[in-house]
Amino acid sequence: QVQLVESGGGLVQPGGSLRLSCAFSGSIFSIYAMGWYRQAPGKQRELVAAITSGGSTNYAESVKGRFTISRDNDKNTVYLQMSSLKPEDTAVYYCNARYLGVTGKKYEYWGQGTQVTVSS
């Protein structure tokens, strides 16, 4: 029933930009947070950026000033605008949604991931 559709990944040169999109669909009570995580080969998954339904944001220190997360609550869609990309940004980026069911129980759902490669 729940579905996350990610798009926007690809190959880009250092200094370039990419915009990732993640659309959530499904019958739930409410989404209280969505975010982007990434995992590079041989490394742990890490938070890149997250945003609550109220607009509060949280960024990894390594991307502050370069990445911007935004959302459209009406469309249940979150975006990640990535600028000044560096080779170390290369990773699989995963969209994450945290939501409440009709009973108030918390759930978490992950997208399939989209590859971002920064290379010259």
Helix residue ranges per DSSP H, the chain? none
21-31 residue pLDDT tens:
999 998 888 99
- Predicted confidence at residue 44, as pLDDT, reads 97
Mean pLDDT of 39-66: 96
Mean pLDDT score of the chain, rounded to an integer? 95
- Predicted confidence at residue 99, as pLDDT, reads 93
- Predicted confidence at residue 90, as pLDDT, reads 98
- Predicted confidence at residue 25, as pLDDT, reads 92
Token representation of residue 79: 């975006």
